[in-house]
Structure formats: structure tokens, C-alpha cells
Structure 1
Amino acid sequence: MSHAEHAPAAPQTPKVPTVRTHHGDAFTDDYEWLRDKDSPQVRAHLEAENAYAEAVTADQAQLREAIFNEIKARTVETDLSVPARKRGWWYFTRTAEGSQYAIHCRVAATDTGDLAADWTPPAIEAGVPIEGEQVLLDGNKEAEGKPFFSLGGMAVTEDGNLLAYAQDNAGDERFTLRIKDLGTGELLPDSIENVFYGLAFSPDGTRVFYTVVDDSWRPHQIKAHTLGTDPATDTVVFQEDDPGMWLGFDLAADRTELLISIGNSEYSETLTLDLLDPHAVPVMLVSREHRILHSADPLTLDGQRAYVITHDRDALNNMVSLLRIDQLALPFAQQRWETVLEHRDTVKVEGTAATATHLVVSVRKDTTERVVVLPLEGLGTAAQQPAVEPAFDEELYTCSLANAELEAPMIRLSYTSDFTPARVYDYTLADGTLLLRKQTQVNDYDPAKYRATREWATAADGTKIPLTILRRADITNETPNPVLVYGYGSYEMSMDPGFGIPRLSLLDRGVVFVIAHVRGGGELGRSWYLEGKKLAKKNTFTDFVDATKHLLDTGWADPKRIVAMGGSAGGLLMGAVANLAPQLYAGIIAQVPFVDALTSILDPDLPLSALEWEEWGNPIEDADVYEYMKSYSPYENVAALPYPKIAAVTSLNDTRVLYVEPAKWVAKLREQTTGTAPIVMKIEMDGGHGGASGRYEGWKTRAWDYAFALDTLGLNPAGA
């Protein structure tokens, strides 16, 4: 901390008043001028912010390097994924020590007639190529000479001859689509700029489907490109003009249908496109007019097409129904939706996937994600067999479906917990056997040295808030400890148990890492989300404060050594908490923080703003929403308070949370704070929403955040 006292003065941010008026309320914004990304003055200011952040945190450099080296040392850098079979090939990725990106590979599969043998992955060694191995795409070569590299999708034709892939070289999630001939290794002339996530080939390999975004960076078109033609002539398969709806697509398990999905957080629509007919047009499956939030998976039962639909029709936590194709011609009210899994108050159904013989259902039960499996035989009838859940021996874990191929006799499951490195299982559908295919190796790690437990804090309104408390096994609450509290609490996203090597560097230094599962997330079902959105959004913020107070009341936390951390919408949480209870925290780390939420959502032309209306409300049209958002939006509520040490970490090319939000927030915090703690902004000039690209750069980013936290907690050996 002493070094910060001798750091140079913070950048002076000029005030250029701009008045924003809505619903008769005039708000003067002194720092809106920072939005002009191309302005030399703005660029100079951002560079000055980086220089100041570097100066303030200079004595953390050694600690950052130590954390980075610990992450690197624990990581088995030369590694590979478990091969997954698709048609006649086994696909997998390799990573190599010293390389930033994955290498995507494949090797031919064999068909002997023995299903178990044919679907057993080949034995592959890390760092050792095998006979017949083919490199599809080497991310390291693709990234050479470029400031950023990220893949937005990959797809291979049914015959295995062509690869479509999309890459981003700026961090702004604007991808370029290319086609590679896997026989010759040559790129085809076809190249399409500014595509979004998601790619799929038609079954005959002559067309590739992709999405296009509008000016607000909302995917609004699905297009089909015929190979060898001018992209300017690409066909618009579907266009969505409602600015509050998101568009996407998925392939059916048998690759014969394209499922077009349009939706927001409250209702959706699904159409289906027959890929076997090049002249087909999308056909309505479930219309948005019914206001049902749902997803659909096509399958074939008794020779007839049907759709398994996960939906909230009279089912807050979702249920699963079967809709046979002969019902589609009937009016909605007359359609027969056969129950596959009924609604339960204690279990949230997340979605489904199908093989030729079984249905796999992802569910959330007791706050955690897991899967259940049931045969297709008799599905939706009295002859339906009971669902079976693969059993594991931990209380808090995450089990998710990694892959379910139509022809496979097994499904691929991903498993992890807070102190169990990722495992890959194959679950045999016929008898329920679990086969461990891979246990991720971690150097210098003993899980017995750590503990993960669940506690429940009580909110001011009596609601019980789940907390996950992670620490070294020798640390208890008999004496107070340095604590980092992490939260998110938006979009029904759950903070599920999962192993992370970087976190060990905090735990090993005696920090208790706490995840506050606040309202607005999805840990306790749909109601948990609804109680933390729109006009109930403040519950997210007060839950986090009450969770922190619980840690103090139960002896876990040293009152002078608590750091809060969150990113994106969790960064909004950080900004709100800074205004609500700055005295509780020694420091706050806000990663790509959504701290100027009201300004952004009031401008539908900004990236993705209109889509946010279903999460926060529409402050443009609704005066009550405007007033409510203004009462908690961090930027508008910065006041003369003793703010703690704060770091805002952002990226220049982020299209989800623009860099201007933390830039304005930091300027206003410095202007208003009555405290003396430094407030810094670190901006990645070549990164996107996830920061810089490449695994080593990602480790450096995490090391920066954690070093800042440790320094704030008094655990930096170089600090006073």
C-alpha cells in the first residue's frame, strides 16, 4: 500500500457537461465525451490511465509474476482433449508447452460392427502425433502476426472434406468466415466478413449457414452461402427485426434440420428448416405469440418426426413435453403436448439432447447442474421408463453433457467440482456404466489440502442466500481471515462448482474465497432469477452486502481485509456495492464492469442495448423503470463517500460492455471520493470482453487481478 502513496497523481479528466433528459429528469454527465473511441484526446487519456495503474501497482509486479509462474507450473501445458467421434472421424485438440492456442486435430475412425469398440476413443499421448493424424487448424499459426485471435465457430461437412471456421483478430467479436479443403489444406476463395458466432453446413456440403449482426451488434439474420458464389448473393434464410430479440440456430442431432431460435429472457420462438430440401423455407414450430420460453430438439419416434420441448408453459421451472409432427397443423390450443418430465418446484429443467435411443436432460437440483437419462422407447406415454441420474460421490459438483452423438451407444459427460479438476466420462446408455476417460492432471496439487462447504446467509427480507466457502483445510472461522467475495447475479446464470488453478494461488496464501450466489442468478430455479431482475434488481446488491455481513458475523472474515470481485454484470454489482457499503470492503475489483447501465440502455443504437430491456426493464418508455434504474446505476449514484481501493479492468474493443463505462465511472469516483485509496483503470488495448487472447495472456490478466486483491488484503511481500 505504501507504494501507492508515492505514485504520481491520477490523470485529470476534463469535464465536458452533456445533459441527458428523460421523463422530465435532466442528468448532467461530465464525462460522456470519453465515448469517442477514435479521438486522440480519448486515446491519450486511456494511455494515461494505464500508466497511472502501472505506477500505482508497480510494487505488485513481483507478486504478479509469482502468481503467473504458479499457474504455469501447475498447468500441464502439453495436453490433449479426449477424442470425440463425429461420423467417420475422431476429433480432438492438442496444446503444447509454450504455445498460446489449441491445435485442432482428427484421426480416422474404424467401423468393425462392435459398437463399444468402435466408440472407444483411440489412445493418444500428449505431445506425440499418431499415424494418420491430421491438423485441421493450428490456432498458433492463425494468430501469428495478429494482435488478437479467437474462434467463433467451426464446422465440418458430413463427408469430412471441408472445414468452415470463423476467426476474430481484434477482440470485437466480428469474425471472418473461411472454408478450408481438408484434403489439400488449401483455403477456398470463399471469405465472408463480419459474421457472428455459429456455423453449420448443409448435409450435402454445398451451403454453409451463418449469422449476421445489425448495427447494434444484435444477430438479426441467418444467411446461407453457396460455396463458390459471391457472398453478396448469399440468401437470407431468416431475418428478425425486433430489436429486443436475439437470433440463433442449432443443428438437429441427425443434421437434417436447422432449428432457428428467436428469443429474450422471457419468451421465445422456434422455426425449423428442412436441410434436405434446398428450396425449403422455415416452418413455425412454436410461435412467440404464446409467450412461452422454450427450446426444442427434433427426434424420430416409431418412424415419425417429433419434437422434445423444454418449456415454461404453466411450469415456472420448466417441464419437458413431446410434440409430434402431426400436431403442428392444429391450432395451438388444440395441440397435444405429451408430458415427458413434469414440473417440479425443486428441480429446474435446463434443456435436452437426443441420441437414437435415449433422451438426455440437463437439470439443476440442490443448486447444482447434473444430467438425467431416459430411453426413447415409450417416451411421452404410460410405457415411458423412469429417468436415471449418473451418481457421483461429491455433494457440490457440476455434471454437464459434453456430447451426445446420434449413433453413439454412450454420451460424453464433463464433471468438475471446486477441488476436483475436470474429468471426462463416457456414460454407457444401455447399462449406466460410467467410464472415466480423462482426469485432468494438475502439478503440485493435493485436493485433501482444501475444503469447499455451503453456508446460507440471511437477507434483510429473510431470504436464505447460498454461499460457497473455499479455503485451505487448515483454515477455520475460529479466527478471522482475509476474504475475497465473488458475485454475479444476472441473466439467470449460475456460479457452478468448478476447479480453477489460478484460485489456488489465493487459497495457498490464506485467503478464503467465497462465492455469493445472489438473486438474479439461476442457482435456485427460475424464481431466484425473477427475484433479482427488473424492478427487483436491488435484491442482487443487498444480497451481496448481506452475504458479506454473514461472513463477518460468523467469524470467517477480518473486517479490515475483505475484497469484492465481479465481472460484466457482476461489475455492475461491484459498482452498486461500492455505493451501498463502501465501508465493508478494503478493495473492489470490477472486471469489464457494466457500471453505466442506464446510459447504455437508454440508447438503443448502442451494442445490444435493446436486448437488455427484458433483463432490466425499458427506461425509455417506462418512467418507473427509469427512476428505479437511476436509483441503483453505479455511475449516477457515485457520491461523497470513502470509497475503498478500486480497480476497473476493461478492454478497448469490448462490444458487450464498452470501455467508456469504467472510464467514466473511475473519473467520477476520483472526483467524489472522500477517501485516499487509489482508484485505477487498466485497459487492454487489443482485447475484447474476455480480455487479451491466448492462455498465457489470460493467466497474466488473472495474476494482475489476484495480485491487486492480495496487495489490498495485506498479503503482498513487497508492500509495507
Structure 2
Amino acid sequence: MNKEVQPPKAKKIPAELEIHGDIRIDNYYWMNDREDPEVIAYLNAENDYKDKQTAHTKEFQIRLFEEMKARIKEDDQSVPYRLNGYWYITRFEKGGDYPIYSRKKGTQEAPEEVMFNVNIMAEGYDYYRLGGLNVSPDNKMVAFGTDTVSRRKYTIQVKNLETGELYPEKIENTTGGSTWANDNKTLYYTKKDEQTLRSFQIYKHILGTDPAEDQLVYQEDDETFNTYVYKSKSKRYIVIGSHSTLTTEYRVLEADKPEGDFKIIQPRVRGLEYSISHFGEHFYILTNKDEARNFKLMKTPVSATEKENWEDVIAHREDVLIEDIDIFKDFLVIGERKNGLNEIRIIRWDESDDYLIPFDNETYTAFTSINPDFDTQVLRYTYNSMTTPTSVVDFNMVTKEKTVLKEQEVLGGKFRKENYTSERIWATAEDGTKVPVSLVYRKGIKKNGNNPLLQYAYGSYGSTIDPYFSTVRLSLLDRGFVYAIAHIRGGEYLGRNWYEDGKLFTKRNTFTDFIDVSKHLIAEKYTSEEKLFPMGGSAGGLLMGAVINMAPHLYKGVIAAVPFVDVVTTMLDDSIPLTTGEYDEWGNPNEKDYYEYMLSYSPYDNVVAQDYPNMLVTTGLHDSQVQYWEPAKWVAKLRELKTDTNLLILHTNMDAGHGGASGRFEALREVAEEYAFLFDLVGIKE
């Protein structure tokens, strides 16, 4: 750390924020204006300070970047999948930062038809994202969305795959995804609210007409809901879904009749969640109906879809969470989670067979992959573990034979699976709950408290961070780091109850679980306070902020990526993207009880005069999920109040949003910066 370089000092303009008779003073509220030249100047000053404080690691960062890049197969391609008479492929060329999307007609030996070369399309843009590819039923056109700002506002266009020409119409401010009706000319898509970016309208576009004349077919007026549109795997229905954190609702229209009206499957009932899959004369419904907290599978005739007509197919189980289903002509495939581990269950419709695909590890991830073919006995799934690169597997559901189509290559010649060990351990939380932790490290490390350890977690929205393989992570492991994923409450690793116990008025469990895992890792001599580094992003960045307010002494340094740290102010501002849809996750602070509870842990509101660990905080100027001013304000307040001389740096990507850089290799530069920060703090120089 260069003591001679002085950090920026943000000006203070006190803003009084009053609600429920409580007044908060926010000295940095003025940063909430990305058009203000002073805000941009402050962010640039922080970036300049970051550059000066990390200048001595710049060469190391470059070496780390090259090292991580060298493990990645540059001229790589996906395993082709078959859809409607074509094989679809995503591939990369050497030196290319972006994918090439192509297809082959009939067989994999047929000539390649390049649909999109994103490397060419991205030329001249600092950020470029192509998404939502959707080929028309007659295979002649493809709809697609592009985002060139990183605000997740996509422009939809249509390309003629026979001539290569683009249709003239451009549909602005969408989610990027769209769905064709079976007439090959009607396209359904989702529009966003200009201000909040909430997905709230479904439109119907007729190819060749002016998008200004598109017909609104559905509007979601409840601000806590988002809406979306897709086609059933059976190709028989266009489906409009509406969802909030706790409630869902679906409408369907026969895809052959785009001039018709959508019919509701089951009107929304607060707390009732369900999703639908079509097969034959039934809809199969994955739902929490009848207090099935871990979900159960039901079915209902297509002619009578209200919940009174639903009947059980697979009953609710207290120890098994049903996560998803996939329907084939002869088989029902169910993605389940038991004791934290993924299971893939296969059932014949005629009930002559019912079994689990066997896996033999405690730190693995397995899930069904792209399976668009309905009439097949082959299931494609993906498998990896913390020590095993990702495999794409075709599994014959009749013979039970599996064929590994591809295992991710780790280039460079140094990687050997047998050089690494993974394990799952259990830490005891302060309320007696056992919290699982997945670990990976190089074989031969000693549990003597001297190992640097990176402890990662997320812990919100019921999102589970499964134990997965990473070529990038090898740069940590090969330098003696232990890597730990803490499966804390707020995720769904141990079922739906695990999520319910880490949200709303139990949110603090998420933070105390993480701290108790840290204490356990130290007690078991995996690491020490001088070598323990927590890391989290977005809602995991909120976790970082809460943890270092509550137990700063446990950690040497922290990485908080795009952190959601100004919880109360953001959740009181319903003009900010995501706010209204999040009330069921965090609570609505317009209600006093929720306000007081959220205020008790909100990282920004709880910064105090105490010592904090070394910190690297990252954000993106165009972030649509966590606005840049949250981490910027947080860093300014930490600078003002903290009593230590530890490093505190803020890096704002002035060109990108929540997901960081768009190119596959550019994103590695950001990881190299994070790793160099960690290595510098433990004295690793190369």
C-alpha cells in the first residue's frame, strides 16, 4: 500500500431521509445522478486512486490474466443439439472474444450455416451482448436481441436466414427474448418499463409491419410482478407467465391461433407458486399447493385447468426439493435436491421404471441440459465437481448407458484432477443449525492455520451456489489457497425451508451463518484471521457489507462485487429497477416493522467508527440491478468513519453494468485484478 497516495475525499451534502418518525442523514445522497459531472469526476478519482494503489501489482495482473486465458480452449465449440431438423452449434475462434452461432441441416456433416458472428457485430462497441435467439418454425428466420449499453434493455430484430438480410423493423426496450407463433409471421415479446426496467407488457408483432402498431396482448399492472412469454416444448402453446417472489400465474394460447385470446390456467393466489409443462391432454404442474413447501408435481386436463382440478403425480416430500421437470414422449425426468445434492430421477410414463442416475461425490453439480427433442430416449445432462471439469453427457434412458460427449479441456498441460481434493463439511451456526460448506484445495496442504482461504457465498432469493469446477480458480488453488462455498440460509441448498429461514424477518441468519462458517474454518485450522478472505457479489455484496460490520476482525481482506449495500434507501425508492418486485424477499420498508429490521443490518446505514479489513469494491456505471451509487456512497462513508489504515479501493467499470465486461476474455482481467488484490495481502508475488 502506497501511504503517500491520498484517497479521494467525497464532499458531504446532508440529505434528510424521514419515514416512520425516524430521520436518517445521508451525506452522500448527491451521488445518485449519473449525469452529474461531479459524480463522474468522483468515480474517476476513485479509479485513479485504485490504479495508483495497485500499480505495483499491474505486471502480476497481466501474468495472471495470461495464465487464466491460457487454460481456456480458444477455438472451442458446444456439443451440437438437434432442433426441428437442424443441429445448432455455438463456437469460438482463436482470438475471438465473442461466440459464433451456426447450424447444420439434417446431419452434423452438412455444411455450416453461420447465423451470427458476434465478433463482427460487436466491432466498435465497448459492450455488446447478443441474446434471445429464436428460430421460426419453418427454419427460415431468426429473431434476436442486442444490448450495447449493459442496462439489459435489448433491441429485437429479425434476420432472414436464407438471404442473410435483416428485416427493417427494430423493437426497442425489450428483454431480448421473443417467441414465434406457428404461422411464421407473428412474434410475441416482452417490453420493459423505461424507468424501472420492470418487464410488464407482452406485445404481438406481425413481421413486416411497423413496431409502433404492435398489439398489446397483456399488461402486468401489479408492480411486484414481472411478465414473460415463451412456447411450450410441445410447440402447441404460447405461454405468458407472471411472477413475483411468492406468487405465479400463467396464460396460454394455442400457437396455431395467434389471433385468439389467452386463457388463464389458474388465477393468482398470493403464496401459490406453480409452473406448467404440456404433454398430451394434460398440463403438468410443479407447485407448492397445499403447503407443499418443497414442491410437488400435479396434473390437470387442458380443458379444466383451475387448481380444483389438479391431482397429485408426485407427492410432496419433506426431505426432497423438486427443482424442475423435463417431459419426453416416454419419460418424465425430474431434477431433485436431497441433502443438498442434485439428483436426476427418470420415470417411464407406463410406470415400468423409476430410478436415479447414479453420482458418486459429495461436491458435485448435475443438471439436465438442452433437451428440445420430445420423441427421444436420450437425455442430455451436464456434470461437474470442484475437482472435475464440466462434462456434457448423453444418457440413454432405456439402456441406462451414458456417453460423455465432451469434457471441458483445461489447456496448459499442468492440470491433473488427482492433484486436488474436495470435501463437504458442516459448521454449527449460533442457533445450532448445521451449515454445509463445500471445499476444494490442492492435495497435501496441512491444516495448520497457515493457508489463505477465499470464502464465497450468496445467500438470497433461494438461489443455490452449487459446487462447480472453475479453470480460473486454479490460479488460487495452485498458489496454496483453499476455496470454500458456504451454503448459508437464504439459498435453497437444503430445500425450501433453507430459503425461508434466510429472508424477510430471518434475513440476519444469512449473515450469522457466514460468520459462523468463518469461525469454524479458523477453529478447524483450514485458515486464520490473518489469511481469511470473504467474497460475494450483488446480494452477496450485501452479505459482505453486513458481515464486516458485524465481525470485521475475522477477515484480512474482502471483495465486494456490485454490492447491494444501501438496502433501506433503495427499497424505499420504487423508481429504481427491481425495487417493487423485491418486497417479498427483503420486506417493504414503507411498513415500520420491516423498516426497523432492514435498518438493523443495512451495510451503508451501519458503518461505524471501527477497524475494517482491506477492501476491494467493484461496480459498473450502467448497472441496472445494483445502481453504481450504492457502492460509491458506501466507500465514501467507510473512508470517513473507519479507524484503520487498511486499503480501501473502489473500481467502477465506466463502460459496463451488473455482469461486468461482455467479452469472454475481458472479464478475466477483472478476475486477475481481484486475485492480485488477494495475493498482495498474503505476500504472494508470482
Fold match, TM over 0.5? Answer: yes
Corresponding residue of 1:649? 618
Question: Which residue does 2:163 correspond to in 1?
Answer: 184
Q: Tell me how far apart the structure 2 counterparts of residues 139 and 224 of structure 1 sit (CA, whole Å).
A: 27
**Matched residues in 2 for 1:398 and 1:197: separation?**
29
2:344 corresponds to which residue? 371
**Is 1:390 the equivalent of 2:330?**
no
1:617 touches 1:625 (CA, 8 Å); kept in 2?
Answer: yes
Matched, 1:431 2:428: no
> Within the alignment, does 1:349 sit opposite 2:317 as a pair?
no
Q: Is the CA contact 2:15–2:26 (under 8 Å) kept in the aligned structure 1? A: yes
| Mapped contact 2:144–2:177 kept (Cα < 8 A) | no
| Residue of structure 1 equivalent to 2:481 | 511
- How far apart are 1:559 and its partner, in Å? 2.2
Counterpart CA distance in 1 for 2:588 and 2:325 is: 32
Quote the Cα distance in structure 2 between the aligned partners of 1:52 and 1:386.
Answer: 64
State the shift of 1:440 in Å.
1.2
Shift in alpha-carbon separation, 1:229–1:635, aligned structure 2, 3 A? same
After TM superposition, give the deviation of residue 131 of structure 1 in Å: 4.8
* 1:459 corresponds to: 429
Cα distance, 1:385 vs. partner? 4.4
User: In 2 relative to 1, CA 4–562 (structure 1 residues): closer, same or farther, beyond 3 Å?
Assistant: farther
Q: Does the CA contact (< 8 Å) of 1:652 and 1:659 recur in 2? A: yes
1:359 aligned partner? 332
Distance 1:413 1:291 in 2: 31
1:323 lines up with 2:290 in the alignment: no
Alignment partners' CA distance in 2, 1:412 and 1:161: 26
Match of residue 201 from structure 1:
180
Contact 1:203–1:275 under 8 Å retained in 2: yes
> Equivalents in 1 of 2:684, 2:19: separation in Å?
47
Q: Distance in 2 between matches of 1:35 and 1:369?
A: 42
Choose which of 20, 25, 31 in structure 2 pairs with 1:28. Answer: 25
Aligned to 1:634: 603
Deviation track 1:46-70 (CA, whole Å, cap 9, x = no partner) reads 1111101111111121221121111
Q: How does 1:80-99 map to 2 (within 5 A)?
A: 80-99=77-96
**C-alpha separation in 2, matches of 1:421 and 1:616:** 36
Paired position in structure 2 for 1:705: 674
> What residue in structure 1 maps to residue 465 of structure 2?
495
- Would you say 1:154 and 2:114 are equivalent positions? no
- Cα drift, residue 427 of structure 1: 1.6
Q: Secondary structure at the match of 1:177?
A: strand
Counterpart-to-counterpart distance in 1, 2:439 and 2:539:
22
Question: Counterparts of 2:621 and 2:41 in 1: how far apart (Å)?
Answer: 13
TM-score by length of 2: 0.97
Partner letter of residue 150 of structure 1?
Answer: R
Corresponding residue number in structure 2 for 1:415? 383
Shift of residue 256, structure 1, vs aligned partner: 1.9
Q: TM-score, normalised on structure 1?
A: 0.93
**Match of 1:172?**
151
Report what 1:547 is aligned to.
Answer: 517
Distance 1:568 1:348 in 2: 25
Q: Deviation digits for residues 247-301 of structure 1, max 9, x if unmatched?
A: 122321122212221112212111112211122211111221263111110111x
Structure 1 residue 312: Cα displacement: 4.3
The 5-angstrom pairing of residues 280-291 of structure 1 reads 280-289=260-269, 291=271
Identity of aligned pairs, percent? 39
Where 1:317 maps in the other structure, the secondary structure is coil
**Shift of the alpha carbon at 1:305?**
3.7
Which of 481, 484, 498 is the equivalent residue of 2:451? Answer: 481
- Which residue pairs with 1:217 in the alignment? 197
8 Å CA contact 2:284, 2:297 repeated in 1: no
In structure 1, which of residues 253, 269, 275 is the aligned counterpart of residue 233 of structure 2?
253
Alignment partner, residue 100 of structure 2: 103
Alignment partner of 2:55 out of 55, 58, 75 = 58
Q: Does the CA-based 8 Å contact 1:253-1:355 persist in structure 2? A: no
1:559 to 529, 543, 561: 529
What amino acid maps onto 1:57 in structure 2? Answer: T
Report deviation, 1:554. Answer: 0.7
Tell me the distance in 1 between the aligned counterparts of 2:606 and 2:197.
28
Aligned amino acid, residue 405 of structure 2: R
Matched, 1:243 2:223: yes
Alpha-carbon distance in 2 for matches of 1:519, 1:278? 44
Aligned partner of 2:124: which letter? G
Task: Determine which of 251, 262, 277 is the counterpart of 2:257.
Answer: 277
Give yes or no for contact 2:274–2:285 (8 Å, CA) kept in 1.
no
Judge conservation of contact 1:310–1:349 (CA < 8 Å) in 2.
no
Which sits farther off after the overlay, 14-23 or 400-409?
400-409
Q: CA deviation at 1:715?
A: 1.9
Task: Pick closer, same or farther for the CA change 1:530–1:305 going to 2, 3 Å.
Answer: closer
Give the conservation status (yes or no) of the 8 Å contact 2:486–2:517: yes
Q: Distance in 2 between matches of 1:338 and 1:69?
A: 56
1:245–1:611 CA contact under 8 A, matched in 2: yes
Does 2:574 match 1:597? no
How many Å apart are 1:368 and its aligned residue? 2.4
d(CA) in 1 for partners of 2:495 and 2:289? 12
Contact 2:272 2:287 in 1 (8 A): no
**Partner SS state of residue 249, structure 1:** strand
Residue in structure 2 matching 1:674, options 643, 668, 672: 643
Contact 2:456 2:536 in 1 (8 A): yes
- Is the CA contact (8 Å cut-off) linking 1:310 and 1:352 kept in structure 2? no
Correspondence for 1:115: none
Tell me the SS of whatever aligns to 2:514: helix
2:9 is aligned to 12
Q: Distance in 2 between matches of 1:476 and 1:387?
A: 44
Q: Name the amino acid aligned to 1:630.
A: L
Structure 2 unmatched runs, 5+: none
Contact 1:74–1:445 (CA<8 Å) still a contact in 2?
no
Corresponding residue to 1:137 among 98, 116, 119: 116
Whether the aligned pair in 2 keeps the contact of 1:4 and 1:678 (CA below 8 Å) is: no
Q: Report the Cα distance in structure 2 between the residues aligned to 1:237 and 1:152, rounded to whole angstroms.
A: 23
Task: Report the Cα distance in structure 1 between the residues aligned to 2:515 and 2:449, rounded to whole angstroms.
Answer: 21
Residue 479 of structure 1: how far off its partner (Å): 4.5
User: What is the aligned partner in structure 2 of residue 625 from structure 1?
Assistant: 594
For the 8 Å contact 2:188–2:229, the answer to whether it is kept is no
Contact 1:295/1:351, CA 8 A, preserved across alignment: no
Contact kept in structure 2, 1:155 and 1:163, CA below 8 Å: yes
Cα distance in 2 for residues equivalent to 1:479 and 1:579: 24
Provide the rounded CA distance (Å) in 2 between the counterparts of 1:22 and 1:262: 31
Displacement of 1:210 in angstroms is 1.1
Deviation at 1:429, TM superposition (A): 2.6
1:440 paired residue among 400, 404, 408 = 408
Displacement, 1:371?
1.8
Give the Å deviation of 1:237: 1.9
Q: Are the aligned partners of 1:299 and 1:308 in contact in 2 as well (CA < 8 Å)?
A: no
Match of 1:229 among 183, 206, 209: 209
Q: Deviations over 1:125-159 (max 9, x none)?
A: xxxxx651010111101101111111231100111
Tell me, what secondary structure is at the counterpart of 2:16? strand
Q: Aligned in 2, Cα 1:349/1:184: closer, same or farther, shift over 3 Å?
A: same
- 2: CA distance, partners of 1:534 / 1:312: 21
Farther off after superposition, 537-546 or 205-214:
205-214
Q: What is the CA distance between 1:692 and its match in structure 2? A: 1.1
Q: Distance in 1 between matches of 2:328 and 2:215?
A: 31
- CA drift of 1:522 comes to 0.7
Could you tell me which runs of 5 or more consecutive residues in structure 1 were left unpaired when the two chains were aligned: 111-121, 123-129, 378-383
Instruction: Report the CA distance shift for 1:146/1:104 in structure 2 as closer, same or farther (over 3 A).
Output: same
Q: Distance in 1 between matches of 2:352 and 2:654?
A: 56
Letter in 1 for 2:323: E
Q: Retained in 2: the 8 A contact 1:305–1:325?
A: yes
Partner of 1:119: none
2:165 and 2:629 map into 1 onto residues whose CA distance is: 41
The CA deviation string for residues 188-246 of structure 1, in whole angstroms up to 9 with x for no partner, is 11211111142211112101111111121110011111100010111112110111112
Instruction: Report the residue type matching 1:149 in the other structure.
Output: Y
